[in-house]
Amino acid sequence: MIKELDLIIVGGGPIGIACGLEAQKKGLHYLILEKGPIVNSLFNYPVNMQFFSSSEKLEIDEIPFISKEAKPKRNEALEYYRRIVTSNKLNIRLFEKVTSIQKEQAIFEVKTERQEFTAKNVIIATGFYDLPNKLNIPGEDLAKVSHYYKDPHFYASQKLAVIGASNSAVDAALECWRKGAEVTMIIRGPEVGQRVKYWVRPDILNRISEGSIKAYYNTTVAKIKPKELILSTPDGSQKLENDFVLALTGYKPNFQFLEALGIHLSDDSKRLPTYDEDTMETNIEGLFLAGVICGGMETHKWFIENSRVHAKMIIDHIVKKRSVPA
């Protein structure tokens, strides 16, 4: 057991790092716990991904983010956040997954796969990229199916189905097509998503219009088989020859983890967690939320650019509480 900490930050992404920087400036005895490498979620993004936000909107603690283009790419973001962690000597433990958090009186007991820590306060900054929205259809567990897209080279000369019509699905479809894949998009709604990056959306619409990429609108996948898909289309059931499937249907926070902590979630489909908008403190005293996890299923609500302020809000509140006599 390590000496009791003022603060444990669960998640070493951009917002977790921002919380660590703020805690360090205020002299708090803190620790960041990250289940993977630095900014694990960004590391698992597609290798060629370009952010929607410009570099200055991805900056934390007013540390300049210099990129080759106005909108940086994944490799530049990895370098930026890694340099912040190393140059500021942040107290972070990597590849240390948190398995449970329990509060005993006024102290949190945080267990990882390796050891146990205690802290007066905990920040959950875990994002939502860990759990894909499953299709819940036969064949989804086949090896040919993935809910994450990494590199287009893998799909060259293959019949690839991309399920979804958001940024991730459109980027994957275009990149894989340009590497020689035969791409078909399966889109549940009547059109490509309106939130798709404005410089990318015309590209995918043109590729669909010219027939380079085939698209089924108002269509869902009923079953996945080793060499084909069964589609439910407006014209009835259809078969589609297929080698690989990218089911890019979005992701969600680990609600089971939040509920196990005792955090109240709304009963509707949004699953919004309860927290004070001024301090980010949940219904459990000393337990805070930061970053995109605050939006529940509304995963388009919070981004790095508008949630980086959470760090200062939380740390200022912790410092203020500490200065008040018991």
Tens of pLDDT along the chain (326 residues)?
567 999 999 999 999 999 999 999 999 999 999 999 999 999 988 999 889 889 999 999 999 999 999 899 999 999 999 999 999 999 999 999 999 999 998 999 999 999 999 999 999 999 877 789 999 999 999 999 999 999 999 999 999 999 999 999 999 999 999 999 999 999 999 999 898 989 999 999 999 999 999 999 999 999 999 999 999 999 999 999 999 999 999 888 889 999 999 999 999 989 999 999 999 999 999 999 999 999 888 877 888 889 999 999 999 999 998 876 55
Per-residue model confidence (pLDDT) at position 93: 97
Per-residue model confidence (pLDDT) at position 321: 87
Question: Which ranges of 36-112 does DSSP label H, i.e. alpha helix?
Answer: 40-43, 74-87
Per-residue model confidence (pLDDT) at position 324: 65
Question: Which ranges of the chain does DSSP label H, i.e. alpha helix?
Answer: 14-25, 40-43, 74-87, 167-178, 201-210, 255-261, 304-307, 310-323
Looking at CATH, the fold of the domain delimited by 134-247 is given as FAD/NAD(P)-binding domain (3.50.50)
Per-residue model confidence (pLDDT) at position 303: 84
Per-residue model confidence (pLDDT) at position 230: 98
Please state the pTM of the whole predicted model.
Answer: 0.89
Q: In the chain, which segments carry CATH 3.50.50.60?
A: 5-131+251-323, 134-247
Looking at CATH, the fold of the domain delimited by 5-131+251-323 is given as FAD/NAD(P)-binding domain (3.50.50)
Distance, CA of 239 to CA of 132 (rounded, Å): 25
Distance, CA of 105 to CA of 10 (rounded, Å): 20
Residues in Cβ contact with 236 at an 8 Å cutoff, skipping those fewer than 6 apart: none
Q: What angle do CA 284, 38, 55 make, to 5 degrees?
A: 95
